[in-house]
Structure 1
Amino acid sequence: MGFKEGWQAINMQMPDAVPRTEYSAHVHWELVEKVTGIDTKKIENRDRASAAFIKNWDFSLLWYANIHKNYLERFGKISNMGHAVYAESSAGGSDKDENTSVLFKDVDEALALDCTKFYGEFDQSELIATYEREYEAMCRDYPDTVNMGGVYITLVSGLTYVYGWEMFLECMAYEEFDRVMQSYYEWVKQFYEAFAKSNVPVLMMHDDITWTSGKFASRAWYDQNVLPYLKKLLEPCKRAGKKILFTSDGNYGEFTDAIVDCGADMLFFEPHSDMEGFAKKHGKTHGFVGDVDTRVLLSGSKEDIEREVKRVMEFGKRYPGFVMAVGNHIPPNTPVDNALWYDEFYRKYRAR
């Protein structure tokens, strides 16, 4: 298992066994140490331990995006929404951040933002080199999985870093915000144009376009300010023959047809999305990833975890582009035994 099966799934070629990816299990240090035997309490061992874990757990895809909020911060400023505790930080302690701040306190000032001027233009050759350099490093460190590059801050995700959620939602009430959305699209497209010129074959387009409950604005707003831009951003990458993967948090089931129309080849789902419904409609032509419920791993019994894996496998393995994953993440507070049971049952049921 590994690269071959992942590439087959992306290309809708029905691997003999269901391939797999996970999003943060390789930094669940207690689990990683249990699986690999490498002492992860020593920070200097962690990169090697993660690589050994990814190989041991047969990752066929490794989720990755190059372009994060640091590109917004290069020439401008952003808001800080803070961060709840998720994991141990690389320097010890936790990643909790209570230092919240907002870039704009006045709506008129916020609506005057021109993203192209405020956040600047990057040299295309440097962006291409970044994509290719990081991809080559990933292929060296994780040779048995499909590696990729991508953009995390595509539209909604980027602008919520800029404004914070409260100001973002307030600005949406004004027609002037449509111009801000367009200016952000004009700014972020430089990263997609550069990716199209790179030699990296797989692109991750990430944009958190929904909440857990679904859309946060009217469908008409999305049809004007989000979906057309997603499609335009992908056009150069599609022309260049890239394989397009799409990820959003929350329940974006209402938009999956549109995301397919935008050019995505494979969609990543969290448990509250209707992955089975997507499979029935698009599963013969498009790949999909998910959607074992992380809550079952957090608090379920061994029997609960087996039932959950069987539930997903029973419909997923009918489709050539299905990739198993726990959505949303296997966080560091997941009991190690529960994660190991999940791995046991994945291996038990993965053969087609």
Structure 2
Amino acid sequence: MTSKERVLRTLRHEEPDRPPVYSSLTPQIAERLASHLQLPLEPPFDSLFSNRISWPALKLRLGDDLVAVAPCYPSNRPVRKNEEGLLINEWGMTFKDAGLYWEFYKFPLAHAESVNDILSYSFPDPHAPGRYDAAIELIRKYGKEYAIIGELETTIFETCWYLVGLEKFLMDLMIEPPYLNVLLDTVMNINMEMGKELIRLGVDIIWCGDDFGSQTGCIMDPAIWRKHFKPRIQHIFSTFKKLNPDIKIAWHSCGSIVPLIPDFIEIGLDILNPLQPLAKGMDPVFLKKTYGDKLSFFGAICVQDLLPNGSPEKIKKEVKRIASILGKGGGYILSPAHNIQPDTPVENVLAMYEAVKEMGN
């Protein structure tokens, strides 16, 4: 059974020989894993989703069954560093080096109030030159043997608040100033066009997402979500399914989003990610029992405690336990619930992959 067959089989809710697996890495853990395995480390891709799509050769060596691709920054608008050492991307978002991560420093539409504030802004071109060059090459190289997942997270909500600022944007979702719907639709359409291009290129899964959850519950009133986001997400899903009825759609949302899961099922979601296991209500037993006949699951291996702090033996035991729950009858892609963080020991990452391999014996 090839990796691609393994993934497609589980998404048909049929049990494969073992759960398929996928990980995304922070640069620090990628460097340590490459050193341990004595592999050259490829440079990361120049993309908002760099941690998701970079280092495919390393991750396949570890045991991944999926290869992620994404829109990259175009050749005519690459990320640039200004004289202050700040990074500015094609959206105009400005970041500063905060150590392990680049953190937001300036929100380019923090002043937005009017429709014209949005209409006069220079947004990215979904079809800019070079945007899909890396995706084309990765699909050509790996698409026959491995499932290809097209990365399209920060689909609406997160891109909007990256532009406006989180506090202002959350308030504006309730106040509804004139700019709001124009920005929501503009961002939706840009990212939808990028997703359509990934589907045309041949991805098997399109991976949308916005973080609507916190550790204890939804980040906004579900009524606000249903007003501003549900119809737009439904439009995206239906557009993608119309373009390719066989495409599988995954949605990423960190945190606890239990009240929203039935809505996502209603509008056509296939795969829920990342099942943050320490978030309130995101219990694998509950999720599989309640929604396992309607959804596939993707994630559930804890990066907050288990992977950084557990022993290799504990990790292997817990990985097998989670897989036995979520993978029963198929419908599960085993994965850490976020990028594997820099505080994770190499031996713990290897233990997770070893557990997966042992399930196939």
TM-score computed with the length of structure 1 as normaliser: 0.79
Alignment RMSD, CA only?
3.4
Does the C-alpha gap of structure 1 residues 71 and 316 become closer, same or farther in structure 2, counting only changes over 3 Å? farther
Question: 1:286 touches 1:321 (CA, 8 Å); kept in 2?
Answer: yes
Partner of 1:3: 4
Report the secondary structure of 2:106's partner residue.
Answer: coil
Higher helix share: 1
2:64 to 59, 64, 67: 59
**CA 1:289–1:189: 2 relative to 1, 3 Å:** closer
Q: How far has the Cα of 1:170 moved from its partner?
A: 3.1
Per the alignment, residue 23 of structure 1 pairs with 24
Structure 2: where are the runs of 5+ without partners?
45-53, 80-87
Distance across 1 between alignment mates of 2:191 and 2:55: 31
Aligned to 1:118: 121
Q: How does 1:233-252 map to 2 (within 5 A)?
A: 233-240=236-243, 241=245, 242-252=247-257
Q: Unaligned regions of 5+ residues in structure 1, if any?
A: 87-94
Separation in 2 of the partners of 1:68 and 1:263?
29
TM superposition shift of 1:244: 1.3
Give the AA of the match of 2:20: P
Question: Shift of residue 111 of structure 1?
Answer: 5.2
Counterparts of 1:193-212 in structure 2, within 5 Å, are 193-195=196-198, 197-212=200-215
Mapped partners of 2:13, 2:233: distance in 1: 23
The structure-2 alpha-carbon separation of the partners of 1:157 and 1:50, relative to structure 1 and needing over 3 Å to count, comes to: same
The alignment partner of 2:250 has SS state of: strand
Q: What does 1:1-352 align with in structure 2 at a 5 Å threshold?
A: 2-24=3-25, 28-35=30-37, 37-40=38-41, 50-66=55-71, 77-78=92-93, 80=94, 82=96, 84-86=98-100, 95-97=101-103, 100-104=105-109, 106=111, 109-110=112-113, 112=115, 115=118, 117-120=120-123, 122=125, 130-131=131-132, 133-142=133-142, 144-176=145-177, 178-179=180-181, 180-195=183-198, 197-240=200-243, 241=245, 242-269=247-274, 270-271=276-277, 272=279, 273-294=282-303, 295-350=305-360
Distance 1:194 1:137, change over 3 A: closer
Deviates further, 109-118 or 263-272: 109-118
Name the SS for the 1:246 alignment partner: strand
Q: Which amino acid aligns with 1:31?
A: L
Counterpart residue type for residue 214 of structure 2? W
Q: Is the 8 A contact 1:256 1:278 kept in 2?
A: no
SS at match of 1:55: helix
Contact 1:54 1:142 in 2 (8 A): no
- Return the alpha-carbon distance in structure 1 between the equivalents of residues 62 and 268 of structure 2: 30
Q: Which amino acid aligns with 1:222?
A: W
Deviations 1:148-200 (A, max 9, x none): 32423311111111012122223234132653434543554433454555544
- Measure, in 2, the Cα distance between the counterparts of 1:274 and 1:23: 22
Q: Per-residue deviation at 1:237?
A: 0.9
| 1:215 Cα offset (Å) | 1.3
Q: Residue by residue, what CA displacement relative to the aligned partner does 1:311-351 show, whole Å, maximum 9, x if unpaired?
A: 30221221312111121222232111222222222222356
Give the fraction of aligned pairs with identical amino acids, expressed as a percent: 18
**Partner-residue secondary structure (3-state), 1:288:** strand
Please list every run of at least 4 consecutive aligned residues from structure 1 whose deviation after the TM superposition is greater than 6 angstroms: 67-75
Compared CA separation, residues 279 and 257, structure 1 to 2 (3 A): same
Tell me: CA distance 1:278–1:182, structure 2 relative to 1, closer, same or farther (3 Å): same
Aligned residues: 330
User: Which residue identity is paired with 1:314?
Assistant: S
Q: 1:226 to 1:348 in 2, by over 3 A?
A: same
Going by fraction, where is strand more abundant, 1 or 2? 2
Contact (CA 8 Å) 2:20, 2:334: kept in 1 or not?
yes
Relative to structure 1, the CA distance from residue 171 to residue 238 in structure 2 (aligned partners, 3 Å threshold; closer, same or farther) is same
Aligned partner of 2:241: which letter?
K
